[in-house]
Amino acid sequence: MSTLEIEKTQAQDEFIINVGPQHPSTHGVLRLILRMKGEFIKDLKPDVGFLHRAIEKIAENRTYAQFMPFTDRIDYCASMPCNLAWVTAVEKLAKIEVPERAQYLRVIMTELNRIASHLIWLGTMSLDLGAFTPFLYAFRERERILDLFEMTCGQRLTYNYMRIGGVSQEPPQEFYPKCKEFTQYFRKKVDDYEALLTYNPIFLSRTKDVAILPIDVGLNYGASGPTLRASGHDWDLRKIHPYSSYDKFDFKAPLGTKGDVWDRYIVRIQEMRQCCNIVDQAVEGLPEGPIKAKVPAVFKPKGEVFARIEAPRGEMGYYIIADGTTKPYRVKIRTASFAHVQLLKYLAVDWKIADLVAIFGSLDIVLPEVDR
Amino acid sequence: MTLELKGLLDWVYTIVSGIVASLGLPEIIRDVALMLLVIAALIGFLMIMALFLIWWERKVSAHIQDRLGPMMTGWHGWIQTVADALKLLQKEDIVVGTADRKVHFWAPVVVFTACLAAFAVIPFGKGLIPTDINIGILYIFAITSFTVISLLMAGWGSNNKFALLGGMRTAAQIISYEVPLTLSVMGVILMAGTLSMVGFVESQGPYFWKWYIWPQLAGFAIYITAATAELNRTPFDLPEAEQELVAGFNIEYSGMKFAMFFLAEFLNMFMVAAVATTLFLGGWQPPLPGLAFVPSYIWFLGKSLFLVFVIMWFKWTYPRLRVDHLMGFAWKVLLPLAFLNIFLTALGVYIF
Amino acid sequence: MGMVKEFFSGVYNLALGLVTTAKYLPKRAVTIQYPKVKMQMFERSRGTVVLLSDPETGELNCNACLLCQKACPVAAITIKQAKDAGTKKRYPEKFEINMMICCYCGLCEEACNFNAIKLTGKYEFATPDKDSLIFDKDKLQEIGRDVKYEAKKKREPKKDAVPVKKAEPASPTPVSAEPEKAVEVKAADPVDNSGQIDIKGTNQ
């Protein structure tokens, strides 16, 4: 992809910079072409596709159950929600009723993974801003969550835990007390992160009133999740179209006021606390029953369906066209980060290049989601 | 019997003058020989100090971040820096073809020399100052301004527009922070009434409540902040960290030249801490006269290393300031505070 | 007045940040120094795939039904069926798993009805030689010899089973598959060493 389009409008005192696909910002392989005037960014063009693995095409040659490990890898920072989105879509297509215990287990796993994903976001954003320590603290907390996952399904990053109709394995007995222990421990750690960052004057000067996203602009670009909630738009799929028994839990979807970088930060921090609440409630109220519904061994649904869930980064949706064979005809994956990459141009223009790092961190973009 | 080094120094003096007298050489040779010995001892000490400080930084940062740091090379990795230095020594010295060779070569030399030269007036202990000139603190601030020149030389000599931009930005930052740095010690100078380093130490009373840090808390805070900015450390290291996106001034340096920039940064850190110890924390004096059995250089080293630890602590806790905030902070916050400090100190000295 | 308040609030928050990081200085670090100290893997850890053998006879449990080959989403398993002339039993003549392609998803283990294939907690198989990462039947059986498993479906041993010699490691792998004995960090579940099949409620 050439830089010619940006170069065409280049004025005399501007220059073009390539923020290359590999950079220490640890967000993945994204290439940004910037046109800069001195310190200010005048134009920005993202160049995506370096991590494209043709997952949607692969889906056309795998059965519905076989596709599970691939959904893990669409967003490997938040693997359980990706699993959940796929099984929700397939169950909606084939009208399968999921037993309640399986729904509660899915909620526990998804919320724990939401905390883990937000911890990665916290670590990388503060690393970009120059605070080296919260990165390591976040990953230390993540180790405990990953231990919980390894105890249950055997893997630490790409779980392949959910199945069409339920979940694959019952967590071991020691999982539930360890879950409770973790949520108690973690709430204190969130206070640590807040002490280090939230009202720190240096952090405030980097993030307050930087790159405000108005609600209508966000909606037009397809923003969702914490990015949109930080602007004040109360849209959380777990509350508005509850799936997988989220309506049985009592939690808040934190809202921001202005939509600047600080709001996007504080919304995610508060969300981490709310996830602890949900996990506690789910572990307390876990009903007895089977963990998987009966699904025919040779599974041949027919029809079209679109289903979406609230992934940690925004809305994740699957559009499946099934033609009555064991493999889907077409699977289209709608990911939140793909829409948010478009927001970069709107948000970053007329800010300095040092703000670009803060903005990019606050949008919580992961490249596997963008490129699939 | 004390462990002070005065006896050792007298012994060395008598030996050298004995040798010179027996060889029939003029007296100036004796002075030159002593000077060379002192310089050799100082440089040796400083090299060990630099190596120690790099290890110390890695360990402190590791334990703040709940991890271990270097562990494999020696007990808790104390030989790690030596291993890194040996590795850097045997690296190929790559110079860009279009670079200005002379400027590119002399930049690390200038920064290292300036850094070492500033140690000539630091009182390491009782009677352990290499030379006690009566304008000690002025000399230190003058010598440390050399770093600006060397950074500009590094940025220019690399023949890389991004290195030049980075170098210029760093130079602008250092120049702006030199003003509050110098002004913040004016309060101490007013109270001590002298510019000599030994004078500062001796004018702070024998008890720790008479040290200048208590009346000059604002001056101390401004000094540490401005010094962190001078050293280009977080929270003021955006020109360096901008390497992720643009380039820093030392992007074209490899091998030993890069190591010289790196070592100079750590030695500068120690120098800043040593000056702060002398000016604010009573230099080599013990907190209470009863603790004088511990030698003075141990007190000095302990206090300086504590201040170095504080500077490292800042680095690993705070995020970075953006460049315009950085400059605004220097000119709009630190400078007025420094003036206020001088005014109040002058008032206090006049009244009391 | 607002500026003074802002100033003091700023100083307070900066000090709060310093206190938060200083809390960790006296604490013991959470780092585990691999390879001197190794973590004990959980029971359900999904590491390398192994082929399980009957503990009494030493034969492979696998009867080449090809279900795992069909279930594998990345086509890492290659099996060639053959029939034993003597006992008329189906067995895999060639059983290869390409560990460079295997994604450790565990679908093969779920598909198997004969306790023949399992994912274990072993992970130390790094090697500079790519060819040795295609595990053949012997290697898979060898690294699965000491793996305990619970029976999904009871298999009666055949009455005229030939007592089988223990398979020699014939594969040309340069790297030893067994991790060194090292200090265990996690408190282990009590391991049953009596050679019996350990029945615990894990795989449902």
User: Total domain count for chain B?
Assistant: 1
pLDDT of residue A175: 92
Q: Which residue has the tokens 């840090």?
A: B213
Which positions in chain A touch B323 (Cβ < 8 Å)?
39, 352, 354
* Interface contact A14, partner C, CB < 8 A: no
Chosen from C3, C11, C21, C37 to mutate, greatest number of chain B CBs within 10 A? C21
The token duo for C148 is 């305990």
Residue C178 has pLDDT above 60, yes or no: no
Decide if B119 contacts B108 (C-beta within 8 A): no
C touches which chains (3+ CB pairs under 8 A)?
A, B
The verdict on a CB contact (< 8 Å) between A169 and C13 is: no
β-strand partners of A17: A34
B touches which chains (3+ CB pairs under 8 A)?
A, C
The verdict on a CB contact (< 8 Å) between A169 and C43 is: no
pLDDT of residue B3: 63
Full-model pTM: 0.86
Indicate whether B37 belongs to any domain.
no
Decide if A295 contacts A164 (C-beta within 8 A): yes
pLDDT digits (tens, 9 = 90+) for A189-199: 999 888 888 89
Residue B196 CA to residue B188 CA, distance in Å, equals 12
Which positions in chain C touch A150 (Cβ < 8 Å)?
41-42, 44-45
The verdict on a CB contact (< 8 Å) between A155 and C204 is: no
* Interface contact B61, partner A, CB < 8 A: yes
pLDDT digits (tens, 9 = 90+) for B244-294: 555 566 667 777 888 888 888 889 999 999 999 999 988 888 888 777 777
The verdict on a CB contact (< 8 Å) between B63 and C18 is: no
pLDDT of residue B242: 56
Residue B194 CA to residue B213 CA, distance in Å, equals 17
Nearest-by-Cβ selection for A206 from B66, B242, B322:
B322
3-state per-residue secondary structure call for chain B: CCCCCHHHHHHHHHHHHHHHHHHCCCHHHHHHHHHHHHHHHHHHHHHHHHHHHHHHHHHHHHHHCCCCCCCCCCHHHCCHHHHHHHHHHCCCCCCCCCCCHHHHHHHHHHHHHHHHHHHHHCCCCCCCCCCCCCCHHHHHHHHHCHHHHHHHHHHHHCCCHHHHHHHHHHHHHHHHHHHHHHHHCHHHHHHHCCCCHHHHHHHCCCCHHHCCCCCCHHHHHHHHHHHHHHCCCCCCCHHHHHHHCCCCCCCCCCCHHHHHHHHHHHHHHHHHHHHHHHHHCCCCCCCCHHHCCCCHHHHHHHHHHHHHHHHHHHHHHCCCCCHHHHHHHHHHHHHHHHHHHHHHHHHHHHHC
β-strand partners of C49: C119
Residue B73 has pLDDT above 90, yes or no: no
Q: Which residue has the tokens 């408190």?
A: C187
Chosen from C3, C16, C18, C27 to mutate, greatest number of chain B CBs within 10 A? C18
Q: What mean pLDDT value characterizes chain A?
A: 89
CA distance B63 to chain C (A): 5
Among chain C residues, the shortest Cα distance to A144 is held by: C30
Query: What confidence tier does A121 reach under pLDDT thresholds 50, 70, 90?
Result: very high
* Range name among B171-185, C114-128, C157-171 with the lowest pLDDT average: C157-171
* Interface contact A111, partner B, CB < 8 A: no
Residue A54 CA to residue A56 CA, distance in Å, equals 5
Which positions in chain C touch A297 (Cβ < 8 Å)?
none
* Interface contact A195, partner B, CB < 8 A: no
Residue C175 has pLDDT above 70, yes or no: no
Residue B311 has pLDDT above 80, yes or no: yes
pLDDT of residue B127: 76
Closest CA to C32 of B68, B313, A28: B68
Residue B306 has pLDDT above 90, yes or no: yes
Provide the 3-class DSSP secondary structure of residue A115. Answer: helix
CB contacts < 8 A, A to C, total 75
pLDDT digits (tens, 9 = 90+) for A130-183: 888 899 999 999 999 999 999 998 889 999 999 998 999 899 999 999 999 999
Nearest-by-Cβ selection for B68 from C14, C22, C31:
C31
Decide if B295 contacts B2 (C-beta within 8 A): yes
The verdict on a CB contact (< 8 Å) between C18 and B317 is: yes
Mean pLDDT of A15-31: 76
Which positions in chain C touch A161 (Cβ < 8 Å)?
none
pLDDT of residue A37: 85
Closest CA to A87 of A169, A165, A170, A159: A165
pLDDT of residue A265: 93
Mean pLDDT of B291-320: 87
pLDDT of residue B239: 67
pLDDT digits (tens, 9 = 90+) for A47-57: 888 889 999 99
Return the domain boundaries, chain A.
Answer: 55-371
Burial class (CB in 10 A: 0-12, 13-18, 19+), B221: middle
CB contacts < 8 A, A to B, total 71
| Pairing outcome for strands C90-98 and C183-184 | unpaired
Mean pLDDT of B128-139: 86
CA distance B7 to chain A (A): 47
Residue B39 CA to residue B32 CA, distance in Å, equals 10
* pLDDT above 90 as % of chain C: 11
Mean pLDDT of A205-216: 89
pLDDT of residue A12: 74
Among chain A residues, the shortest Cα distance to C30 is held by: A140
Report A:244-303 residues touching C (Cβ under 8 A).
291
Decide if B200 contacts B190 (C-beta within 8 A): no
* pLDDT above 70 as % of chain A: 96
Q: Which residue has the higher pLDDT, B168 or A269?
A: A269
Query: What confidence tier does A3 reach under pLDDT thresholds 50, 70, 90?
Result: low
Contacts (Cβ under 8 Å, ≥6 apart) of B351: none
* pLDDT above 90 as % of chain A: 52
Residue B236 has pLDDT above 50, yes or no: yes
Query: What confidence tier does C172 reach under pLDDT thresholds 50, 70, 90?
Result: very low
Report B:38-67 residues touching C (Cβ under 8 A).
60, 62-67
Among chain C residues, the shortest Cα distance to A152 is held by: C44
pLDDT of residue C168: 37
Chosen from A71, A188, A192 to mutate, greatest number of chain C CBs within 10 A? A192
Domain of B261 in residue numbering reads as 53-351
Which positions in chain C touch B316 (Cβ < 8 Å)?
21
CATH number of A55-371: 1.10.645.10
Query: What confidence tier does A24 reach under pLDDT thresholds 50, 70, 90?
Result: low
Q: What mean pLDDT value characterizes chain B?
A: 85
pLDDT digits (tens, 9 = 90+) for B153-167: 888 887 777 777 778
* Interface contact C25, partner B, CB < 8 A: yes
Which positions in chain C touch A196 (Cβ < 8 Å)?
17, 20-21
Which positions in chain B touch C21 (Cβ < 8 Å)?
64, 313, 316-317
**Element at C50 (helix H, strand E):** strand C49-51
Decide if A253 contacts A270 (C-beta within 8 A): no
Among chain B residues, the shortest Cα distance to A357 is held by: B245
